[in-house]
A and B are shown apart, each in its own frame.
Chain A
Amino acid sequence: MTLSLESMLQLSIILPILTTLAIVATGNKPNLREAVTIISSLILLYLSVNLYQGIKQGESISVTWWPLLPNLQISFNIEPLGMLFALIASFLWLITTVYSIGYMRHHEEQNQTQFYACFAIAIGSVMGIAFAENLFTLFIFYETLTLSTYPLVTHAGTEKAKKGGRVYLGVLLGTSIVFFLLAIISTWFVAGTLDFKPGGIFDSDVNTTVAGVILVLFIFGIGKAAIMPFHRWLPAAMVAPTPVSALLHAVAVVKAGVFTILKVCLFIFGIDLLSILPTTQFLLYLAGASVLLASLVAMRQDNLKARLAYSTISQLGYITIGALLATSAGVIGSSMHIATHAFGKITLFFCAGAILVTAHKSKISEMRGLGLQMPITMAAFFIASLSIIGVPPAGGIWSKWFLLMGTLETEQWILMVVLMISSLLNIAYLLPIPFHAFFSKNNIPFANTGTKIKEAPLASLIALSITTVGCVVLFVYPQPLYELAKAILATPE
């Protein structure tokens, strides 16, 4: 069976949604249901890899569905940045599914069918976002992503979950309706099109004040990028089961946010226009403040997931900065950071979940001495932390390198200092965790004296090992990632 690349593209969006139906249909047979999920995530990965091959050979792959409003089609087109995002999401969906099976069963979660079903819709939406050819299509999938992840965030069904869900939905839906939609309609009105085009769609003589205001609306409106002060939803979303926090709130949802920002900066405004807009500098400082403040807040969190959430907010700020710097180094750094941070952060969350289901601990202060009990998990945590900090032998160094280059090129000294301080803060809030786990005596009496090795469920352990290896591979062999990131700026044709 050979499929054309076009049908592969469509399939990669439709498949997860069809999977949802299959999951619901097999809901009362857990083994079959999870087999369905795994098989469809394998197919999705296969499709993404094939599409990637196609892109590498320079094929242009685009599909138009139908016009939702006159002149506003739902259409898809693959370019390197979207391909990068889709590859990460589909690969990590597979890994997360493996992980979830261990986690959800071990944790005896309720409503697992609903969990897997919503998860599949969310991934379908992510694919839609990654491949969207215009802002309109992107917005539609952006909103579907918010709505399909709401039941995942509130999965526990408790009062706390309800409150978390309120913040989640309130911020994400609120910013997207008030700012993002307004920005889109204004762009449509000013530029007359919403298609992503290299170099942007605004005329060169566009009123820079208007365009500047629209840029602010975009950055505020894309709440998924969690720029302060619209970041509250991310810590709130931590009430979700850990696999959700891992894939969605370290990879899919937040990366959809920064991905959208990158898309808007590169293909709606264009680098040239972006660098002369009066509001760009203000937004850069806002993102810089977000980086620093979030790191500082992260230091004060004792709940591991909350600390990781604030760390994510800070790292998302890096990507936004890279996009707004409007230089090629910044863009390459940002897009590489999408990948390196994804691998690093998902590993950290996997570890947090593994600790929760095995040792039933969520507070960092209780994790002293845990390294003896869960050596593999803690070693993985250590390597992933290195990736987030940006030191060898983990991939994070490359993206941070390019981001720093970007700040140097544009002579944004303040931002450069911000990035460097933030890296130091990363060390301060991440490394003590594995350090104490291995080298401190536990200060809390264990029920079972904890020198015996008692690791996480096997499925979860496999998953987190794979992502850890991914972090290292990205360090040793960053070439394909770099090529893909570089191709984003190359003008096609």
Chain B
Amino acid sequence: MLTHLPVLQVIVPLMAAPLCLFLTRSRLVWLFALMVSGLAFLISALLLQQVMTSGIIIYELGGWDAPWGIEYRIDHLNAFLLLIISSVSTVVLLAADTSIQKEIPAEKHSYFYILYLLSLAGMLGIVATGDAFNVFVFLEISSLSAYALIALGKDRRALWAAYQYLIMGTIGATFILIGIGLMYQMTGTLNMHDLSIRLPEVAHTRTVFTAFAFVIVGICLKLALFPLHLWLPNAYAYAPSIVTAFFAATATKVAIYLLIRFTFSVFGLSFSFTALPLHILFLVLGLSGIFAASIAAIYQKNVKHLFAYSSIAQIGYMIVGFSVSTTTGLMATLLHLFNHALMKSALFLALGAVMYRIGSVQLSQFQGLGRQMPITMAAIVIGGLSLIGVPLTVGFVSKWYLILAVIESGWWPVALLILLGSLLAVVYVWRIVEMAYFRPPLTSNENIKEAPFSLLVPIWILVMANIYFGIDTRLSIEVAQAASQSLFGVNP
């Protein structure tokens, strides 16, 4: 059984999804989905433990040898990602039962869970597989279910947002497919490990450069790198709260994973960063993303929009860490991947609680919430502090490493810019704080009570995780360090 863990990681949610159809009652489906996600979490924890103790796990699907058959290859990097995705998915699902009562019509509840599990399976698949074409397949599974999930939003604009995402996402996926096709044409293989061996022989050809360009641009669309981020704010804002919390924590992270996987493992460090000025490009895009998106966040009237823009800015930080292209830089990116997943899932879930009580997340509706929903607002404040990067929260840890990485490379002005950018986070977080704590409640909201227990528990699990992993950083730092070192070839 243990040897089959890599495939079970993906198969379990994938197979469980259609089974939801047989369970008719909403609560039953929820319990089932929660169980499946919990199982996935358990598997990923076991996988990570296995990788940390005994190194890379290679699993051949159906027993076919590697270049011909599909290979699942679990190293530090994807074990880490698997853990992030499955853990956030599980905690977010905890809140789903209550949250969707108000946001999704009852007859669509089982579809919601099916799509959720499919999306989860897709993301886990992208991360677990060691086969380039397999990546595309799972990308489509997760994306298609994502479009449908976003379209489930109560607001009619959700349809438009899902459509926007559909167009941009499809372009991205197509680009990736073209890139993979070109690589296959040049090397005759789809296995990533095999590709990494064969690509250097043909690295000078124009086809490989074209393939690289297609793959990178396709991924950047998916990860909403500024200025390819236009689909993201609406998709996050109009999707059901649960979906937003789940995607904000995972979807863009998976794309960052792909970026790292393709540049570091498939094309190789020397090709990605010496043949092309990728680091300068990403540095500029990352920094402009930080500033443009943070400033945009300040002017949003809808708090979900606000945090969506903040997500784009946070992606900018990850990209800056990536562009440094040193072990510390990559480590900062990976840490922020983990930390940002914790922050944003906590924040969006807390917004879900506000949505549940008030039915809107317009900033103006937050008036006086500090007194009416003190526990939810406290969660938002702590999540916001983590976003700012205050010590003893996870945000501080990733910022520390990012600045350290930048200084190590001698990019002093960049360090200053990053820190200035993080001040913008203070501004947009404090707009919410001032609204909630310095204004009397709206007359229409006078009878608002604190969110139900079933929402508060998952929110506070995530908030506590924000603090816990900001205080006890052993797990995140050890894994991020191991992953980053292995990508830089300390072991292949």
**Residues in chain A within 8 A of chain B (CB atoms):** 66, 68-70, 139-140, 143-144, 147, 154, 157, 159, 161-162, 166, 169-170, 173-174, 177-178, 181-182, 185-186, 188-189
Main secondary structure of the interface of A (DSSP, over half): helix
Alpha-carbon separation in the docked complex, A278 to B420 (Å): 26
Q: Within the complex, which residue of A68, A139, A144, A174 is in contact with B473, where a contact is CB–CB below 8 Å? A: A68
Whether A169 lies near B419 (C-beta < 8 A) is no
B window 270-311: CB within 8 A of A: none
Sample (23) of A-B pairs whose CB atoms are under 8 Å apart: A66-B472, A69-B473, A70-B477, A139-B391, A144-B391, A147-B385, A157-B437, A162-B438, A169-B426, A169-B430, A173-B388, A173-B423, A177-B423, A177-B426, A178-B423, A181-B399, A181-B403, A185-B403, A185-B404, A185-B415, A188-B404, A189-B407, A189-B408
Separation of A159 and B440 alpha carbons in the complex (Å): 12
State in angstroms the CA–CA spacing of A162 and B434 once bound together. 7
Q: Are B391 and A177 in contact (CB under 8 A)?
A: no
Q: Which residues on the A side are within 8 Å of B437 (C-beta)?
A: 154, 157
Q: Mark B388-421, 1 if CB is under 8 A from A, else 0.
A: 1111100001011001100110000001100110
Task: State in angstroms the CA–CA spacing of A139 and B391 once bound together.
Answer: 8
Q: Does B471 contact A (CB under 8 A)?
A: yes
Q: How many Å lie between the Cα of A139 and that of B430 in the bound state?
A: 22
Q: Which residue of A lies closest to B426 (CB)?
A: A173
Q: Are A181 and B473 in contact (CB under 8 A)?
A: no
Give residues of chain B (313-348) contacting chain A, Cβ–Cβ below 8 Å: none
How far in angstroms is the closest Cβ of chain A from B439?
9
Residue positions of B touching A, CB distance < 8 A: 385, 388-392, 397, 399-400, 403-404, 407-408, 415-416, 419-420, 422-423, 426, 430, 434, 437-438, 471-473, 477
Decide: B434 and A69 in contact? CB cutoff 8 A. no
Q: Shortest beta-carbon distance, B67 to chain A, in Å?
A: 39
Contacts of B419 in A (CB 8 A): 177-178, 181-182
A170-B426, A181-B419 known; A189+B438 contact, CB < 8 A: no
A140 contacts which chain B residues (CB < 8 A)?
A: 391-392
Interchain CB contact under 8 A, A177 and B422: yes
Q: Which residues of B contact A139 (CB under 8 A)?
A: 391
Contact A143 B407 (CB under 8 A): no
Q: Please measure, in the bound complex, the distance between the C-alpha atom of A181 and the C-alpha atom of B388, giving whole angstroms.
A: 13
Provide the residues of chain B in CB contact with A159, threshold 8 Å. Answer: 438
The 7 closest A-B pairs by CB, nearest first: A140-B391, A178-B419, A162-B438, A185-B403, A189-B407, A143-B391, A174-B423
Contact A69 B400 (CB under 8 A): yes
A305 vs chain B, min Cβ distance (A): 21
* A144 CA to B399 CA, complexed, in Å: 17
Q: Kindly state the separation between the CA atoms of A174 and B390 in the bound complex, as whole angstroms.
A: 11
Which residues on the A side are within 8 Å of B471 (C-beta)?
Answer: 68
A185 touches B391 (CB 8 A): no
- CA of A178 to CA of B426 in the docked complex: distance in angstroms? 12
Q: How far is the CA of A181 from the CA of B421 in the complex (A)?
A: 14
Bound-complex Cα distance A185 to B400 (A): 7
- List residues of chain B with CB within 8 A of the CB of A157: 437-438
Give A162 to B420 CA distance when docked, in angstroms.
Answer: 23
> Are A182 and B416 neighbours in the complex by a CB distance under 8 Å?
yes
Tell me the nearest residue of chain B to A143, going by C-beta.
B391
**CA separation between A174 and B419, bound complex, in Å?**
9
Q: A21: shortest Cβ distance to chain B, in Å?
A: 15
Residue in A69, A143, A188, A189 whose CB lies within 8 Å of B477: A69
Q: Which residues of A contact B415 (CB under 8 A)?
A: 182, 185
CA A70 to CA B390, docked complex, whole Å: 18
Q: Which residue of B lies closest to A70 (CB)?
A: B477
Q: Which of A144, A162, A169, A181 has the most CB of B within 10 A?
A: A181
- Docked Cα-Cα span, A173 to B425, in Å, equals 11
- A143 adjacent to B390 (CB under 8 Å): yes
In the complex, besides A173-B388, A174-B423, 7 extra interface pairs with C-beta distance below 8 angstroms are A147-B385, A154-B438, A157-B437, A157-B438, A174-B426, A177-B388, A189-B407
Q: Looking at the complex, which one of B385, B397, B422 makes contact with A69 (CB distance below 8 Å)?
A: B397
A143 partner residues in chain B, CB cutoff 8 A: 390-391
Give chain B residues whose Cβ lies under 8 Å from the Cβ of A169: 426, 430
Q: Determine the residue in chain B with the shortest Cβ distance to A146.
A: B390
